[in-house]
């Protein structure tokens, strides 16, 4: 019912009490911002730090977000109207091959509004080996990577005049090779 929606999936948690206040203030100062997200820590099931996300700098344009999936859902704050517009326009049931809901939603918001990034860890995304995005199964990991590539290619064509197509196809091949080299055979 509110103007802004904060996301936090069931296995993740927030670790910064000032996060929402800072994000809200930023979005109130600039009404053209549809999404504000932050750096996140990634921890395994035992609570050990396994990385930070995004790696490198945060991205705030559709072009740069097509290059790198950078929004950890548990750090995001979005305008309710942008989220509702996404679900009204790009109905997920029309894309059953999309194995994630957050990537296409954030690409849609980036295509229609500004994106802000705060370079401070405010939430923890827990990484489990049997999750959709981090599976140890080669087949599942490749299916997820392929789905992510298809999502990016679809948004690039629809909202970006296919400007990133060559890069995205090359990224798809490199990602598949990386997955094979780290997980091995089926």
DSSP 12-80: -EE--TTHHHHHHHHHHH-TTEEEEEEEEEEE-TT--EEEEESSSS---SHHHHHHS----GGG-EEEH
Mean pLDDT along residues 56-82: 93
Mean pLDDT along residues 72-87: 96
CA 102 to CA 84: how far, in whole Å?
Answer: 13
CA 61 to CA 75: how far, in whole Å?
Answer: 17
Chain centroid to Cα 169, Å, comes to 19
Residue 59 reports pLDDT greater than 60 = yes
| Angle of the 102-112 helix axis to the 138-160 helix axis, nearest 10 | 20
The 10 Å Cβ neighbour count of residue 3 is 10
Nearest residue to 107 (alpha-carbon basis) of 144, 59, 140, 139: 59
**What distances in angstroms separate CA 77 from CA 2, 20, 116, one per listed residue?**
12, 8, 10
| Single pTM value for the model | 0.89
| Percent of all residues in the chain with a pLDDT value above 70, rounded to a whole number | 92
CA 142 to CA 36: how far, in whole Å?
Answer: 29
Instruction: Compute the half-sphere exposure of residue 164: CA atoms within 13 Å on the CB side of its CA.
Output: 23
3-state DSSP assignment of residue 137:
coil
CA 103 to CA 163: how far, in whole Å?
Answer: 19
More confident: 169 or 134 = 169
Give the tokens for residue 104: 């296409």
Residue 34 reports pLDDT greater than 90 = yes
Confidence (pLDDT) at 150: 92
The mean predicted confidence, pLDDT, of the chain is: 90
Q: Please answer whether residues 176 and 142 qualify as being in contact, where contact means their C-beta atoms are separated by less than 8 angstroms.
A: yes
Confidence (pLDDT) at 56: 85
At 105-117, the pLDDT tens digits run 999 999 999 999 9
């Amino acid at each position: 019912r509110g103007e802004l929606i904060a996301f936090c999936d069931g296995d993740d948690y927030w670790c910064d009490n000032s996060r929402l206040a800072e994000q809200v203030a930023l979005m109130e100062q600039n009404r053209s911002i549809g999404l504000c997200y932050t750096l996140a820590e990634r921890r395994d099931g035992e609570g050990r730090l396994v990385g930070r996300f995004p790696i490198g700098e945060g991205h705030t344009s559709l072009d740069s977000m097509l290059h790198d999936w950078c929004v950890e859902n548990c750090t995001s704050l979005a305008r309710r109207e942008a989220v509702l517009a996404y679900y009204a326009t790009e109905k997920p049931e029309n894309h059953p091959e999309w194995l994630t809901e957050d990537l296409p939603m954030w690409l849609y918001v980036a295509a229609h509004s500004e994106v802000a990034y705060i370079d401070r860890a405010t939430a923890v995304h827990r990484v489990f080996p049997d999750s959709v995005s981090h599976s140890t199964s080669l087949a599942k990991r490749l299916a997820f990577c392929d789905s992510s590539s298809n999502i990016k290619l679809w948004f690039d064509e629809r909202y970006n005049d296919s400007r990133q197509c060559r890069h995205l196809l090359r990224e798809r091949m490199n990602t598949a090779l990386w997955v094979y080299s780290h997980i091995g055979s089926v």
